[in-house]
Structure 1
Amino acid sequence: MDADDWLSECLQRLAEQGCVSEPAELLAYVPDLDHDLRRMLLVELVKLDMAMSAEAGTIRRIEDYLAVAPDLLSPTNVPIDLVMEEMQLRRDVGESPQASEYQLRYPQLATVLTPLEQSINAIESVETQGAPPEIDAGEQIDDFLILQKLGQGAFAQVYLAQQISMRRLVALKISRGKGGESQSLAQFDHPNIVRVFDQRLLDESSLHLLYMQFVPGGTLADVVKTLRSHPCDDGLNPRGGWLLLQSVDEQLLEAAQVVPDQSATRDWIATSPWPQVVAWVGIHVCRALHEAHAQQILHRDVKPANVLLSAEAIPKLADFNVSVSESPDQAGKAASLGGSLAYMSPEHIGAIIDKNHADQANIREPADLYSLGVLLWELWQGQRPFQSGSVQLSWNDAAAEQLASRQRPLATPIVDELAPHAAAERVLEKTLRRVLSVEPSDRFGDGAEMAGRLRLSLYPQAATLFDPPEKSWRAWLSRQSPWVMACLVLLIPHAIAGGLNYQYNMNEVMKPLQLEHVLRSVSWIVNLTYFPFATVCAIWMTRSMVRAVENARQDQRVDSRDLGNMLELGNRAATIGGSLWFSSGILFPLVFHYLDPDFHWMASLQLFLSSLICGGIAMAYPYFGMAWLATFVFYPLCLRNTMQDSDFDERATRFTNRGEVYTLIAAILPLVGGALMISTPSSSRWFMLAAVLAGMLGLLVATSIHHRVVKAWAQMGQVLSTQNSAFPE
């Protein structure tokens, strides 16, 4: 049996027997197991015996049990939850236990007893007003007709009700007194946050009515239960979106609500693989958190039970009872250490265990994102990402164990590397690993960044662009120096064009005129001027790209201006290179006419056309090289962390249109080469024919690159474009 089975059996045996005559008798109910499990069982048996003794009229103190098994329970290791049990029992009989008393009895608990006393006082202030009354279905309270009870808490009842005046279904929360949830939730009008309509205070009965949007599809906690009943390795019926819909439909049936007949959202969910559905859920919750954080409200209790689902399975964040508002006109900061232990961030747990470990102010937006990461991992894998190293003995021990588990490596997920959605699942895993980083600074900056990264999981082709496999050539190129990559792409075509131009001019123009020595001298002067200038320009223009890439590699946000300069690099280099070649095409004939007045016009035309062809080469091929490098390597690298580019649509349009211009330039090159071949003596036509064929091959390459670049930008637009409507809302 596991720990829960042993606990259930031991408590049942004691409950059937009743409270023991002597505390030492409890040891007979503790089986011979390992030390940690025996200690946990003894602590729980002590709690039960204390409660049954109190019902019999005797208040037993913790000290009465310390001699039962000193190796298991001693004054130095009394758990905080046992102290809470005694304090509560004493309060029930009219005593007023103080934290100072317990601080003297158990000094090791001094740091947690003061906030515990504050919590008890807060509970007392609510309890003194009395619990809300139970209301039967069919009864009316104020403007609400009670239809069905949905749930209850310690101090509130939640009902499905019809608001008579508005003729709408609402979730009606009835409590004594007035909490802060309405002030937190009423600020929001967001599709992924449960909408609070209003509140009413009934003076005659002091009842507080909070009525809000009724969300009938259950919670993500229900989905997790459904998920755990379906094994990961079931090849006949693999996990998919149908699991989410199955859970929602079961809850709709229980609430007597109609399952939507036609829904594009449900249709998409039903046909989508499970990792993409998990990412889709995460995107919605990220949006809700981003909205809350923008309103300076922290949720502090993100967990599956607090994410409700509509009939179309759209997630809606609820239960801001422990939320904290940073607005100066709202209270609530004193309660900021609430939440659910299993989903808390390390800094949140640390602040609870030891207030000196992490100040309350350090529990910021990244803590909510961390909790969401735990939630999504559990939704994805069916279990949370942390391996517990030992049995949790008490609440305090459990908190310490949970904090220790955050420092351990995450559980190894079950993934299918051969599935069609493998790229999407790889992105999902990397996203969750990042948001589950121990240090808050290593997580995403806000919910929008995390949502952008999760959105990538919905589009496997785009995911391959932004997150290529580790051993792929794109991943290898992304690790190389951007200085080297850019300079090679920009300067090699110039060097090739310069070599071809020199050979053609030497053999086909100057040699017949016996001006080879003049060409050598002029070429040296021009090359020593133009090529160093082009090199300096290339290095200078590459600075922005290098800065952007370095920031991306350090997980820092890339400046939009640097990103734009990187995408403009190919065009600027082509413009400068083409201008240099065009100017040299004019300058060379003028220089030769100056040196030799008999230099005829046909030779001048040949010089100009050859420079024009080489200029086209120096424009088109560096552009397409940089377009390919930016599109497939460095632009995705720069956006990999944030997945946000507010200027994407404008850049994509500019990139596509500009590519068509340079494709046209590449198409003109063979035509100009053909014209030059016609005007060239027959002895050199083989050389020119080879150049024309090379130009045609270059055109094919340029056309192919342009086609791939346009396709890649369209794929990236699925994730980055603000005009994209494919995302299932």
Structure 2
Amino acid sequence: MHQQDSAVPDAGSGRLIADRYRLLSALGEGGMGTVWRALDESLQREVAVKEVRAPAELPAAKVELMYTRLQREAWAAARVTAPNVITVHDVVTDGGRPWIVMELVQGGSLADLLKSRGTLLPREAARIGAEVVDALRAAHTAGVLHRDVKPANVLLSDDGRVVLSDFGIAVIEGDTALTMTGELVGSPEFLAPERALGRTPGPASDLWSLGVLLYAAVQGRGPFRKTGALATLRAVVDEDPPFPDRAGPLAAVLEGLLRKEPAERMSAEEAARGLRLVVRDAESGPGGAPADPRVPHGEELPTAASATASGTWALTAA
């Protein structure tokens, strides 16, 4: 998890978890608990510790289910070994609930960056997106779906590293889902249409979420955001995304990722190639940085068809 300034109260600071991890200060707070900066007293290094707090009104059976899900988060993330995926160091139980110990990423999140800047240039968004695709490819190869790809879960390290974090609602392919009946898992704005319809998600569902993330990064607003969750989900299922007039050459990748039918969606390999082409073309102009060596010379950015299967945009790569 990442380190940033926070107004979260530090009640509990100084507490020793599992006789090893000393809580130092709160980094952030969300619906499922608090993330702490902590000191691993055994190895004398700083780490991030995720504290899980179940709502007081939640029945005991659902509390147990929630804690099992969070333990699954750690197991899922620990299965994925890649530079762009948050490293899970340990899972401990203290006070009757799990605490997840992770690497401390010095920096902020993409959500923080967008809040301060509003939008990114297409090449900036493409660079971040290419690293997130690498993380997703590693996760999918390990049989792990992230299911909550959004700006708040993309960490931007001070050393330039892009890290995908928070596998809190990840599901291991082939396992029985632990989702409570009727519970919405994930952020509605970034939810893939098949998931909104209750269908079984797959790797393409994470790629849709990445497409929404990149769209929001260059446009300043997600393509399906409405005033309420139900209206947002309806838009995800039924509405075409507005043309991203600020996306430039990134528009073709967005079109490929935001196809309603998972089978027609751009693959991770195609997305990685397209995103790195956007970066390479932006950097290879006069005075630009060297081209990304992972992009073959002679490749061209894929041009979207004049009419997609979902009838959305007429695009060119220009």
| Alignment of 1:282 onto 2:129 | yes
- C-alpha RMSD of the superposition: 2.9
Give the distance between the partners of 1:455 and 1:436, measured in 2 at CA: 18
Which residue of structure 2 lines up, in the alignment, with residue 454 of structure 1?
275
Instruction: Give 1:294 deviation, angstroms.
Output: 0.7
Q: Secondary structure at the match of 1:459?
A: helix
Task: Quote how far apart the aligned CAs of 1:465 are.
Answer: 4.5
CA contact (8 A) 1:217 1:313 kept: no
> Measured at CA, do residues 190 and 412 of structure 1 come closer, stay the same or move farther in structure 2, by a change above 3 Å?
closer
Contact 1:219–1:308, Cα closer than 8 Å, also in 2 = yes
Identity in percent: 32
Post-superposition CA distance 1:552-596 (Å, at most 9, x none): xxxxxxxxxxxxxxxxxxxxxxxxxxxxxxxxxxxxxxxxxxxxx
Q: 1:288 to 1:276 in 2, by over 3 A?
A: same
Structure showing the higher helix proportion among its residues: 1
Taking the TM superposition and a 5 Å limit, the aligned residue runs for 1:96-245 are 135-141=11-17, 142-175=19-52, 177-178=67-68, 179=70, 180-202=72-94, 205-228=95-118
In the alignment, does 2:206 pair up with 1:316?
A: no
Which position in structure 1 is the counterpart of 2:6? none
Alignment of 1:532-681 (within 5 A): none
Would you say 1:410 and 2:252 are equivalent positions? Answer: no
Q: CA deviation at 1:139?
A: 3.6
Listed one character per residue, the Cα deviations across residues 83-105 of structure 1 (whole Å, up to 9, x for unaligned) are: xxxxxxxxxxxxxxxxxxxxxxx
> Which of residues 229, 236, 240 in structure 2 aligns to 1:395?
229
Output the amino acid matched with 1:400: R
**8 Å Cα contact 1:325/1:333 also seen in 2:** no
Q: What is the total number of aligned residue pairs between the two structures?
A: 266
1:335-361 alpha-carbon deviations (Å, 9 max, x no partner): 69611111112222222xxxxxxx3x2
In 2: Cα distance, 1:397 partner to 1:429 partner = 25
Pairwise CA distance, 1:414? 2.5
Q: Provide TM-score, normalisation by structure 1.
A: 0.34
- The DSSP-based 3-state class of the residue aligned with 1:171 is strand
Contiguous gaps of at least 5 residues in structure 1: 1-133, 231-238, 240-273, 352-358, 416-424, 471-729
State the alpha-carbon separation in 1 of the partners of residues 105 and 44 from structure 2: 16
Identify if the C-alpha distance between structure 1 residues 346 and 296 changes in structure 2 by more than 3 Å, giving closer, same or farther.
Answer: same
Equivalent residues of 1:301, 1:320 under 8 A apart: yes
Deviations, residues 189-237 of structure 1 (Å, cap 9, x unaligned):
21101000011123xx324221101112111111111221x7xxxxxxx
Structure with the bigger percentage of strand: 2
TM-score (norm 2): 0.74
Post-superposition shift, 1:466? 3.4
Q: 1:333 offset after TM fit, Å?
A: 5.2
CA–CA distance in structure 2, aligned partners of residues 433 and 401 of structure 1: 16
1:680-699 to 2 correspondence within 5 Å? Answer: none
Q: Tell me if structure 1 keeps the 8 A contact 2:244–2:251.
A: no
Report the counterpart of residue 380 of structure 1 in structure 2: 218
Distance 1:338 1:468 in 2: 34
- Residues 423-453 of structure 1, C-alpha deviations (whole Å, 9 max, x = no match): xx42x221111111122122123x2331122
Who is 2:300 aligned against?
467
Q: Please state how far the C-alpha of 1:377 moved relative to its aligned partner.
A: 1.4
The 2-side partners of 1:325 and 1:196 are apart by 16
Counterpart residue identity of residue 133, structure 2: C
* Residue in structure 2 matched with residue 72 of structure 1 by the alignment: none
Equivalent residue, structure 1, for 2:7:
none
2:146 aligns with 299
Structure 2 residue 205 is the aligned partner of structure 1 residue 367? yes
Secondary structure at 2:197's aligned position in 1? Answer: helix
Please state how far the C-alpha of 1:283 moved relative to its aligned partner.
Answer: 0.9
Amino acid at match of 2:177: G
Against the structure 1 CA distance between its residues 467 and 189, is the aligned structure 2 distance closer, same or farther, given a 3 Å change threshold? closer
Aligned residue in 1 for 2:262? 440
Contact 2:277 2:301 in 1 (8 A): no
* Structure 1 residue 454 displacement after superposition: 1.1
> Which protein has greater RCO, CA pairs closer than 8 Å, 6+ apart?
2
Q: 1:399 to 1:458 in 2, by over 3 A?
A: closer
Residues 344, 175 of structure 1: alpha-carbon distance in 2 compared, 3 angstrom cutoff: closer
Asked if the contact 2:215–2:244 (Cα under 8 Å) also holds between the matched residues in 1, the reply is no
C-alpha separation in 1, matches of 2:32 and 2:158:
28
